[in-house]
Structure 1
Amino acid sequence: MRAIIDRLQALSPAITNILSTSGTVGESIGVLNHGEVIYTKGFGYRDIDRRLPMNEETVVSLFSLTKAMAASAVSVLVSEGTTTFDTPLVEIIPDFRHHDPTIQSETTLRDLLTHRVGWAQYNAIWMQDQGRLYLDKNQSLITAATLPVTAGFREKFQYNN
């Protein structure tokens, strides 16, 4: 384990260079190994005006980066044979409900990942300023059930958070 941590620490100059080159103000890194935090490090600033450094306690809004994380997690489950991209969502989340019966019964992971369910783009209902959530996580399914449909099911890409 020590060798892994040493290798992670050796990346610090490269990460600092990437931040400088890209104009990125700050970044925090956390590495888990079998559920145990083995490395954390902050680079740059969480507040550049006040020169407050990034650290393992810094809360960062990831916004759309979580879509890639979700797609990766689903892909791992698919590769393990736990599910498929075409498994109906209601089989994975039995509490999923929608007022449109087609969306209710036929929406798959593939549909969600490719934004082709037909839901209206109501992105502002999820987030407030400073990355604060309007809704508790336990309200997400209930809210999704009420989203209006503004395109045909699987008709086209229609971005929605």
Structure 2
Amino acid sequence: MIRFLIVTFLFVLTSISFHACTEIQSEPKITLPAAEEWFMDDSTALYLDTFSAAFEEGLTNQSIPGGAVVIVKEGRVIYQKGFGVKETGKTDNVDEHTVFRIGSVSKGFASVLAGVLAEEDLLSWDGSVSSYLDDFK
């Protein structure tokens, strides 16, 4: 549970650092599964309400026009929500189809995920890339 909270926190922290977002018009919209209710109990509902309020407050405090969150548990979408607008001064809301420019942030994601894989003994810090990717030369 702590690992889940840490990864979620890092994702949220990274997400609220984005100031620019755009929607790609040329790509078809992908239908995402609705958030499922199977996991919901009173404490989870309270956590998600608190999380939503904190996320909205973070956007406001940092003057960020909008952001989006999705939480996946056991391969199932349990929470997804868009917050705010795509661009300051506009009325187009952020939703599950909004595409954000992530720039160099993927480096941070890669290092966090590598750490999680190493902790679960699925990756060795001393291993070579070619031992994990056959086509890597």
TM-score (norm 1): 0.55
Query: Larger Rg: 1 or 2?
Result: 1
In structure 2, what is the Cα distance between the partners aligned to 1:6 and 1:60? 28
**Tell me, what secondary structure is at the counterpart of 2:127?**
coil
* Runs of at least 5 residues in structure 1 that lack an aligned partner in the other structure: 98-161
Q: Where does 1:2-151 land on structure 2 (aligned, <5 Å)?
A: 2-3=40-41, 4-97=44-137
C-alpha root-mean-square deviation of aligned residues, in Å?
1.6
In structure 2, what is the Cα distance between the partners aligned to 1:37 and 1:15? 18
User: Percent identity, aligned pairs only?
Assistant: 26
- State the shift of 1:12 in Å: 2.2
Stretches of 4+ aligned residues off by more than 6 angstroms: none
Number of residue pairs aligned between Structure 1 and Structure 2 = 97
Change in CA separation of 1:71 and 1:10 when aligned onto 2, cut-off 3 Å: same
- State the shift of 1:32 in Å: 0.4
Change in CA separation of 1:54 and 1:39 when aligned onto 2, cut-off 3 Å: same
| Bigger RCO (CA 8 Å, 6+ sep) | 2
**Tell me, what secondary structure is at the counterpart of 2:69?**
strand
In structure 2, what is the Cα distance between the partners aligned to 1:55 and 1:45? 9
Contact between 1:5 and 1:38, CA under 8 Å: does it hold in 2? no
- State the shift of 1:49 in Å: 4.0
In structure 1, what is the Cα distance between the partners aligned to 2:122 and 2:40? 33
**Tell me, what secondary structure is at the counterpart of 2:86?**
strand
